[in-house]
């Protein structure tokens, strides 16, 4: 069996939902897949060709009246078994590349006013996205109801990733706000008093 790349896994995973053209796949990768993986069309088209050369996908040319013709890709039986195996395989270790956190490690050499602006800005952005995700969550819950909790339906998987998005934005907004608070509190003065951000106490061991 051929070893899948992550991008190959993404594309096969999307094609498991329904047949799509490269263009449509690229759009899904812009949203919502971009929250956990990204790829431009210049990477997608060659990867589709590669998957096809391994017989994991096949395509059919589809003419359209109102638009240019497109190649609609479908996953093959071989593709299905490959992606199912891949989904439960150990993920490659994530390589953290977080420039804000990196810059936070250099806070000490910085002008406090500029840093404060930076962290307050990030805090606001994370709060905005959090509110948006929470609205989406309520929508999905209203839309699907108990059907949301069907392990074998894509809705559930989407819900699971949405929950992680909420947790992520929540945690990051809190941290950014705490950093900004510390900068405000400490700049100018040498006064120390309290401890850390309100890290979720409910699950804290």
Partner DNA sequence: ATGTGCATGTAACTTGTTACATGATTCA
Partner DNA sequence: TGAATCATGTAACAAGTTACATGCACAT
66 binds, among a copy of itself, DNA, none (CB under 5 to 8 A by kind): DNA
Only one residue has tokens 């069907």, namely 150
The binding site for DNA (CB under 7 A) comprises 5-7, 21-24, 26-27, 38-43, 45-46, 48-49, 64-71, 95, 97
5 binds, among a copy of itself, DNA, none (CB under 5 to 8 A by kind): DNA
Only one residue has tokens 């059919």, namely 60
41 binds, among a copy of itself, DNA, none (CB under 5 to 8 A by kind): DNA
- 184 contacts 120 by C-beta, under 8 angstroms: no
* Secondary structure letter of residue 150 according to DSSP: -
Query: Rg of the chain over CA atoms, in angstroms?
Result: 22
What is the Cα–Cα distance from 163 to 166, expressed in whole angstroms? 5
Residues numbered 39 to 78 that lie near a copy of itself (CB under 8 A) are none
What number of other Cβ atoms are within 10 A of residue 12's Cβ? 23
Please choose, from the candidates 115, 98, 101, the residue with its C-alpha nearest in 3D space to the C-alpha of residue 175.
101
For a copy of itself, give the closer residue by CB, 71 or 171: 171
Q: Any contact of residue 106 with a copy of itself (CB under 8 A)?
A: yes
Cα dihedral value 132, 135, 136, 141, nearest 10: 160
42 binds, among a copy of itself, DNA, none (CB under 5 to 8 A by kind): DNA
135 binds, among a copy of itself, DNA, none (CB under 5 to 8 A by kind): none
For DNA, give the closer residue by CB, 22 or 79: 22
Site string for a copy of itself, 144-183 (x = CB under 8 A): --x-xxxxxxx-xxx-xx-xx-xxx-xxxxxx-xxx--xx
From 61, 65, 67, 97, residue interacting with a copy of itself (rule: CB under 8 A): 97
What is the Cα–Cα distance from 105 to 110, expressed in whole angstroms? 10
For a copy of itself, give the closer residue by CB, 10 or 25: 10
What is the Cα–Cα distance from 202 to 205, expressed in whole angstroms? 9
């Amino acid at each position: 069996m051929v070893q899948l790349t992550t991008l190959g896994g993404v594309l096969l995973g999307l094609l498991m939902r329904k047949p799509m053209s490269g263009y449509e796949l690229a759009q899904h990768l812009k949203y919502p897949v971009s929250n956990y993986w990204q790829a431009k069309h210049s990477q997608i088209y060659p990867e589709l060709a590669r998957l096809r050369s391994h017989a994991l996908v096949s395509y059919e040319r589809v003419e359209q009246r109102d638009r240019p013709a497109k190649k609609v890709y479908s996953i093959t039986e071989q593709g299905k078994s490959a992606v199912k195996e891949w989904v439960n395989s150990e993920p490659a270790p994530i390589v953290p590349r977080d420039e804000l956190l990196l810059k936070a490690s250099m806070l000490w050499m910085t002008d406090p006013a500029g840093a404060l602006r930076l962290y307050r800005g990030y805090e606001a952005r994370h709060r905005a996205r959090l509110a948006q995700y929470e609205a989406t969550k309520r929508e999905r819950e209203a839309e699907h109801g108990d059907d949301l909790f069907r392990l074998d339906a894509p809705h559930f998987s989407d819900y699971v990733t949405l929950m992680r998005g909420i947790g992520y934005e929540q945690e990051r907004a809190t941290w950014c706000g705490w950093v900004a608070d510390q900068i405000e509190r400490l700049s100018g003065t040498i006064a120390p008093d309290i401890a850390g951000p309100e890290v979720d106490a409910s699950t804290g061991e």
